[in-house]
Structure 1
Amino acid sequence: MTEGAARFTPGTPCWVSLMVHDLAASEKFYHALFGWEFQEGPAQLGPCIHAHFGDRQVAGLGEMHDRRSLPAAWLPYLATDDADATCALARDCGGTIGVGPLDSGDAGRMAIAADPCGAAFGIWQAGEHTGVPADGRIGTPVWNELVTRDSFVVSPFYSTVFGYDTEPVVSTDIDYLTLHLGGRAIGGIRGVGGSLPRDRGPHWTTYFAVADADEAAQRVTELGGHIVREPRDSPYGRLAHVADPEGARFAVIRMLDPRDAVTRRVRD
């Protein structure tokens, strides 16, 4: 990205990253799965690489410094015009800041935070790197969804810190809120109550667009990962939840209409 590129509206998911234990193995896995190519990332962040797909820089992968036993997990970053002010507001609203804010070279300023229920997310103030738009292109992130115990408990935090409007799904069977910015759907919050995995707790899930969800899920298993939830149809496309060889979970989806990817709620 260049400094002249358009900035995202604050609150927009604009980037995803993954911290792993074996960077070389993860590079091989995601290259084989999505066709990503990789370049070295900012040296001050430790061993890290940036994934490119076509003309886009789509994700960042980094290696845990001391190979500690923290689980690998995809992390979405939410755009801000002022990372320091957003971190201060997040603290005031009951969140915590685990890393930063700190500069990432000329690329931007970042922080890693957690909401009051413990779900981690990133904060990104763009410099030369603005992020990647969620416009449905194959091989890129198209949706981010928070899985938590109760959507209505945590949604005020995100609405206050990032200015989201929320739209509930009217149903007795599902607890789901869609997050909107300027009338545009940009993410979702799913409440699962007691079904929340104890070994994960509240967490964000990133969805990546693929040409064929069944083939992508099968490819994951061939490359040493596993399927968390089998491929299935949803109102927004065919999707599957999977995990890479280190256990980092994500979803793959074949959107019904990629042009409408950013206005759809990815749920089933």
Structure 2
Amino acid sequence: MAVQSEGVPCWADAMFADVESAKSFYGDVLGWTFGEAATEFGNYTEVYSDGKAVAAVVPPMPGAEGQSAWCLYLASPDAAATARKIQDNGGEILMGPMQVSDFGTMVLARDPGGVVFGVWQAGTHEGFQAMGTRGAYCWAEVFTREPGKSDGFFPAVFPYRAKTMETPEGIDFRVFHVGDDPVLGRMEMGDEFPPEVPPYINVYFGVDDCDAAVAKATERGGAVVWGPMDTPFGRFASVRDPQGATFSVIDMSRTEGEMPAMTDVP
């Protein structure tokens, strides 16, 4: 696939204390296969679906051990310039900008509400080789307890136009667009999220059968966070893997209901 436009999700990876167990779990649930660990890059291991690179897994760096979590990377034509914008708008740089051989340049950052995300300036590694298909990235949402901070931050750093989505439950949900294309959601974390759950980006991967994927995940030691449920976008569920990383699975071929209206944010 071509290099993504600025602000568009382009890659996802996760650190796991037990990478082999993670590979076994996700291989069963999402049908992933795995490349050789790149020892010169901290045993970074690319993940494949139908032969195309869709994500990566890696053990934690020394001193960075902690809760496993998925990290979403947003495309940038100039990672150093994006890092400056992040700092200028109240965000925090956790790592980088760091050039990774000729693959590209990365930044890890935290928004003012505590949401961790990545920035990727593509070199030879352009990002996802497939999107919106089985086993591949489909969508993502910023889950935050401080939506006002995220709402101000992300459009200041990236060329986002925001719209609010009307929901029957009155949920505070916003969608960031690049041009006319929706690229990232933002949802307020309510009381249904225990206080010990930090803000995060919820990454969706495609499956052929949501219920079967959830059954396999729980059989392999995962836990259902919510769902499965039917929506106009597909049938999806949120799952926590055995090492604590939360992600979602979605069958986009199974839709129900009318698409909700969206209103431009002034």
TM-score (norm 1): 0.89
Q: Secondary structure at the match of 1:40?
A: coil
Q: Indicate the SS of the match to 2:35.
A: strand
Contact 2:95–2:107 (8 Å) recurs in 1: yes
Per-residue deviation, 1:152: 3.4
Q: One-letter code of the match for 1:92?
A: D
Residues 1-268 of structure 1: matches in 2 within 5 Å?
Answer: 6-66=2-62, 69-132=65-128, 135-170=131-166, 173-256=170-253
* Contact 2:9–2:183 (CA under 8 A) maintained in structure 1: yes
Cα–Cα, structure 1 residues 73 and 232, in superposed 2: closer, same or farther, change >3 Å?
Answer: same
Q: Structure 1: which 5+ runs fail to align?
A: 259-263
**Distance in 1 (alpha carbons) for counterparts of 2:107 and 2:197:** 21
- Could you tell me which residue of structure 1 aligns to residue 258 of structure 2? none
Q: Alpha-carbon deviation of 1:43?
A: 3.5
* Cα-to-partner distance string for 1:26-82 (whole Å, 9 max, x where unaligned): 111111221211113544431220001123100010101338651000010000011
The CA RMSD measured in Å over matched residues stands at: 2.2
CA deviations on 1:201-240 (whole Å, 9 max, x unpaired) are 2210001110010000000011121211131112211111
CA contact (8 A) 1:148 1:196 kept: no
Aligned equivalents of 1:19 and 1:192: distance in 2?
24
Shift of 1:8: 0.7
Partner of 1:29, secondary structure, is helix
- Which residue matches 1:261? none
CA contact (8 A) 1:42 1:105 kept: no
CA distance in 2, matches of 1:176, 1:76: 19
Seen in structure 2, the aligned counterparts of structure 1 residues 164 and 30 have a Cα distance that, compared at 3 Å, is: same
2 CA distance for matches of 1:196 and 1:114?
A: 20
How many Å separate the matches in 2 of 1:90 and 1:8? 19
CA contact (8 A) 1:97 1:111 kept: yes
How far, CA to CA, are the matches of 1:183 and 1:42 in structure 2? 38
Amino acid at match of 1:208: F
Partner SS state of residue 215, structure 1: helix
1:241–1:250 CA contact under 8 A, matched in 2: yes
- Answer yes or no: is the 8 Å Cα contact 1:169–1:176 preserved in 2: yes
Alignment check: 8 A CA contact 2:54 2:131 kept: no
**Letter of the structure 2 residue corresponding to residue 109 of structure 1:** T
Aligned residues: 257
